[in-house]
Amino acid sequence: MELFSLFFSAVVINNVVLTKFLGMCPLLGVSRKTSSALGMGAAVVFVIFGSSVFTYILYYNVLVPLSLEYMDLITFILVIAAFVQFVELVLKKYSTVLYKALGIYLPLITTNCVVLYVTLINITEGFTFVEMVVYSLATPIGFMMVLYIFSTIRERLDYADVPNAFKGNPIALIVAAIMAGIFTSFVGLI
Amino acid sequence: MKKIIHLTVFLAIISALAGGILGFVNQITAPIIAEKKIAAVKASLQEIFPGATEFAEITIEENDVVVNAYEATGAGYAFNVSIQGYKDVIEFIIGFDLNGKIAGLKMNYVNDTPGLGTKVGEPEFINSIVNKSVDDKLDTISGATISSKAVIEGINAAIAVFESLK
Amino acid sequence: MKSILNYGLNLLKENPVFGLYLGICSTLAITINLNNALGMGVSVIAILTVSNIIISLIRNITPDEIRIPVYIVVIATLVKAVELLIKAYAPAIDAALGVFIPLIVVNCIILGRAEAFASKNGVAASALDGLNMGVAYTLSLVAMSLIRQILATGIVNFTNPFTNVEVFSVTLIPSQFTIPIFSGPIGAFLTFALLAAGVSAIRNHQPKLKEAK
């Protein structure tokens, strides 16, 4: 039950995009088409889950025993960068279909702040291994959900008559404001 | 092959330098950070137990709600509690004197609905709790039921730990 | 006088936040009040300037293939050092900004300037570029935070983060007329959208300048 509420809260109530404002760059960059939003979302779920497990194990089995906790930031960001590269290589070699679908989004993920955020929160919140797994699946799923909803709205916005100055990103941010308003009403569900 | 070795060595040297620099900064800042952390708690403990002079952190069994425990020598025990409120955690320090009376309650973090949940941080609620005995029933606030219930639940968890220490 | 005006105009047009949409995450998240904005801004100025200097210094010995990982290590080291210093000397900033300090690592402005400017230019020019970009970033944060803080609480105040002593506090709007949602996510997105639209309107107004570039 507690794991479910952790999951639900990370997906909806404390949605990373709408309450923590993380991952805004991909949100504005690749949310113009639903297909690319889903592709990016799937790639982010995969990378966050993988790098969370890696960094979690690395932190508690290498950095803590050596009392090198202050190296966490460098280690984490390098693990994320290396993991992204690795996934890209593997996909390229073994699955052309997946590579075609996710390949172009992978390099963008290294600088996606959600990835670093989740790996850091896993440690600062003192999650157990199971909680870490749940949290690092739920957060990117929440990201993917918002990205998808957002892209469906933006596909329609392309046909809307928007004042010149608001064309492009400003109107998208207004949409984000309204979505954030809707999501705040989930507060208190748990 | 030579190229790869060159690249690896270069990255290793940069990382080693980075580690060295951070180790140095860490050495300077670590004692100050630790000191600041205790100082923040110490001020709260001093408020709860004005007569006590010596405070020490004591180890307790792992607990989801009661995060840290402190002993004020000759005066009582205090517990750092963190519990889920309405939309965020509520964090407070509660102190019990040796007779089992609530000596003080200090809210450290309340982020619930302004005007409703935040009532648990106001003097009215805190005064209704301080000086009660651990056996008394504590009342919730109407309009902030979930937040005040959470605080009372946290206090009860702290009481359980307190009883186990006596 | 004219150069100051030009600088201001450039700041608007080439603004890293509202013009190029870099480093938005932290801009939206921490601009609840002036204190946070200045704390974040000064940290970014320091990190950006020093990282630009270091990357410019090592630009000739850095192998091209691994330059991005090298830049990331340099930036992460600086950010962690700043985080430790803030924790030690200004815990109030740490309490307010929390995880957003380590997240400076992935603030696109810093890696962006390293790649686009410091890796190709001399030390002095890179330092100046870092300072310039950092100041532009800080001013954007301050603008956002002033709007949001004034609308949400009606008060502008500044507290010295090292001593926790309030330096000044001015009440501009009586409390019954404030709009609290501006301190939350809705207000963040809305303020940002309006400021970005404003910058875009100024840009559209000078099509000639754009073409000349």
Confidence of residue C212 (pLDDT cuts 50, 70, 90): very low
Rounded (10°) angle between helices C185-205 and C123-153: 120
Q: Please state whether the predicted TM-score (pTM) of the whole model is above 0.90.
A: no
Residue C17 lies in a domain: no
How many A/C residue pairs have CB atoms within 8 Å? 121
Q: What is the DSSP string of C107-172?
A: -HHHHHHIIIIITTS-HHHHHHHHHHHHHHHHHHHHHHHHHHHHHHHSEEEEEETTTTEEEEEEE-
pLDDT average, residue stretch B19-37: 85
Residue C61: list chain B partners with CB under 8 A. 10
pLDDT average, residue stretch A99-125: 80
What is the rounded distance in angstroms from the CA atom of residue C146 to the CA atom of residue C155? 9
Lowest-pLDDT range, A89-103, A116-130, C77-91? A89-103
**Domain coordinates in residue numbering, chain A:** 30-159
How many A/B residue pairs have CB atoms within 8 Å? 18
Compute the mean pLDDT over every residue in chain A, rounded to the nearest whole number.
85
C63-90: b (≥16 Cβ within 10 Å) or e: eeebbbbbbbbbbbbbbbbbbbbbbbeb
The ipTM is 0.83
Residue B40 lies in a domain: no
Residue A13: list chain B partners with CB under 8 A. 87
What is the rounded distance in angstroms from the CA atom of residue A172 to the CA atom of residue C34? 26
What is the rounded distance in angstroms from the CA atom of residue A7 to the CA atom of residue A17? 15
The minimum CA-CA distance between B142 and chain C, rounded to whole Å, is 23
pLDDT of A165 > 90? The answer is no
- Helix (H) or strand (E) holding A130, with range, is helix A129-157
pLDDT average, residue stretch A17-46: 81
What is the rounded distance in angstroms from the CA atom of residue C95 to the CA atom of residue C90? 9
Lowest-pLDDT range, A97-111, A156-170, B10-24? A97-111
Beta bridge partners of C160: C165
pLDDT at C210: 46
Domain count along chain C: 1
Residue B12 lies in a domain: no
Residue B30 lies in a domain: no
| Structural domain span for residue B155 | 48-165
Residue C15 lies in a domain: no
| Structural domain span for residue C158 | 25-212
Residue C49 lies in a domain: yes
- DSSP state at residue A30: S
% of chain A surpassing 70 pLDDT: 96
Q: Which chains touch B (3 or more CB pairs under 8 A)?
A: A, C
Residue B76 lies in a domain: yes
Which CATH number is B60's domain given? 3.90.1010
pLDDT of A29 > 70? The answer is yes
Residue C82 lies in a domain: yes
Confidence of residue A53 (pLDDT cuts 50, 70, 90): very high
